[in-house]
């Protein structure tokens, strides 16, 4: 989950706290669901991240901690991976605590603080199986149409007869797969061929990843003014992250691939050769869907094929 900490409504409390709860279970004696759980999060009065287990109204077991000073009005991503007796705790994608405990093996989840009158914000709460399927999404367009999960937001999309690829056209064209896509660390690749435009000499083709919505995402692709280039868009504002100079040609198939690993590292490949490595340390997008297209209104026609998304284990 993502959490932003504001402050306590008690003016005498200057520290910050925010927690997530997991494996919440009923107390067999009282049937209360608020006394038995694990809790991981930000404990500002100690300037630490802390993992606890609560066994009853006053029974707390502390399993581990990690030095950390939270700041007001900054979004943080807190996460846990729980499998059997193993509990691993994460801050912004980095593991900070790892322990083993067999007390609770199942239960629900929760968010919040139960102390010190805190005001916090929560967003992007995700629960998913620890083991991903081998393939998260794939479309080679051999059926003669786009997969039903595509959301065709801009332009015209057609699969030419007996072609096995999809063609995007129009003033701009953009299609995404984002519904229920809370993917975090994954590998995404697509083949693309630029046919060009009748109106401009520009050549462009892009894949989009960790797509939040139409105004927030990363974009990787090829264009004749920047070569192989990585962008980020935040609330509609573009940021150039990195590029690799390269001459781009029409009617030539290129293979674009990106890998999003731990610590917000992004690796970008062109024709299976690593060309860009970038680490986003400024409010990175933690998860999200994918897309293909060209947002510039230059009526560029582009072909796409062999879209493939796989988890990075």
DSSP assignment of 88-136, as one string? EEEETTEEEEEEE--S----EEEEE-SSTTEEEEEE------SSPPS-S
Tokens representing residue 217 in the block: 């995402």
Q: What is the pTM of this model?
A: 0.65
Does position 70 have pLDDT exceeding 70, yes or no?
yes
CATH architecture of 137-311: Sandwich (2.60)
Which tens digits make up the pLDDT trace of 163-174?
999 999 999 999
Burial of 176 (0-12, 13-18, 19+ CB in 10 A): buried
CATH number of 2-123: 2.60.120.560
Alpha-carbon gap, residue 260 to 272, rounded angstroms: 15
The confidence band for 56, taking pLDDT boundaries of 50, 70 and 90, is confident
- pLDDT for position 98: 87
Alpha-carbon gap, residue 298 to 170, rounded angstroms: 8
Which tens digits make up the pLDDT trace of 201-240?
999 999 999 999 999 999 999 999 999 999 999 999 999 9
Residues 6+ apart with CB under 8 A from 30: none
The confidence band for 30, taking pLDDT boundaries of 50, 70 and 90, is very low
Alpha-carbon gap, residue 263 to 77, rounded angstroms: 12
- pLDDT for position 86: 82
Domain boundaries defined on the chain: 2-123, 137-311
- pLDDT for position 31: 42
Helix (H, G, I), strand (E, B) or coil at 262: helix
The whole-chain average pLDDT of the chain stands at 92
Question: 137-311: same fold as 2-123?
Answer: yes
The confidence band for 140, taking pLDDT boundaries of 50, 70 and 90, is very high
Does position 131 have pLDDT exceeding 90, yes or no?
no
The confidence band for 188, taking pLDDT boundaries of 50, 70 and 90, is very high
Tokens representing residue 126 in the block: 């995700």
Does position 33 have pLDDT exceeding 60, yes or no?
no
The secondary structure of 149-218 as a DSSP string is T-EEEEEEEE--TTT-SEEEEEEEEEEEE-TT----SEEEEEEEEEEE-SS----EEEEEEEEEETTEEE
Q: Which helix (H) or strand (E) holds 279?
A: strand 273-279
The confidence band for 263, taking pLDDT boundaries of 50, 70 and 90, is confident
């Amino acid at each position: 989950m993502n959490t932003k900490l504001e402050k306590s409504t008690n003016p005498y409390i200057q520290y910050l706290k925010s927690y997530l709860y997991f494996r919440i279970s009923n107390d067999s004696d009282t049937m209360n669901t608020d006394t038995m759980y694990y809790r991981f999060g930000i404990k500002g009065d100690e300037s630490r991240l802390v993992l606890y287990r609560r066994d009853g109204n006053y029974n707390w077991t502390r399993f581990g901690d990690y030095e950390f000073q939270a700041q007001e009005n900054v979004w943080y991503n807190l996460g846990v991976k729980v499998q059997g007796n193993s509990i691993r705790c994460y801050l912004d994608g980095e593991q900070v605590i790892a322990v083993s405990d067999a007390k609770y093996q199942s239960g629900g989840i929760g968010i919040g603080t139960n102390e010190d009158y805190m005001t916090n914000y929560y967003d992007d709460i995700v629960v998913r199986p620890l083991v991903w399927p081998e393939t998260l999404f794939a479309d080679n367009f051999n059926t003669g149409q786009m997969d039903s999960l595509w959301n065709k937001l801009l332009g015209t999309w057609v699969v030419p007869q007996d072609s096995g690829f999809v063609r995007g056209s129009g003033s701009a064209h953009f299609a995404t797969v984002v519904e229920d896509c809370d993917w975090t660390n994954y590998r995404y690749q697509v083949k693309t061929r630029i046919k060009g435009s009748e109106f401009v000499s520009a050549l462009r083709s892009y894949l989009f990843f960790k797509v939040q919505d139409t105004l927030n995402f990363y974009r990787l692709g090829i264009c004749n003014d920047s070569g192989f280039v990585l962008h980020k868009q935040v609330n509609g504002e573009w940021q150039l992250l990195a590029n690799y100079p390269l001459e781009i040609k029409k009617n030539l198939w290129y293979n674009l691939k990106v890998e999003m690993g731990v610590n917000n590292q992004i690796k970008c490949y062109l024709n299976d050769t690593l060309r860009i490595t970038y680490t986003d340390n400024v409010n990175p997008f933690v998860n999200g869907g994918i897309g293909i297209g060209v947002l510039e209104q230059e009526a560029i026609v582009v072909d796409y094929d062999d879209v493939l998304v796989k988890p990075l284990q």
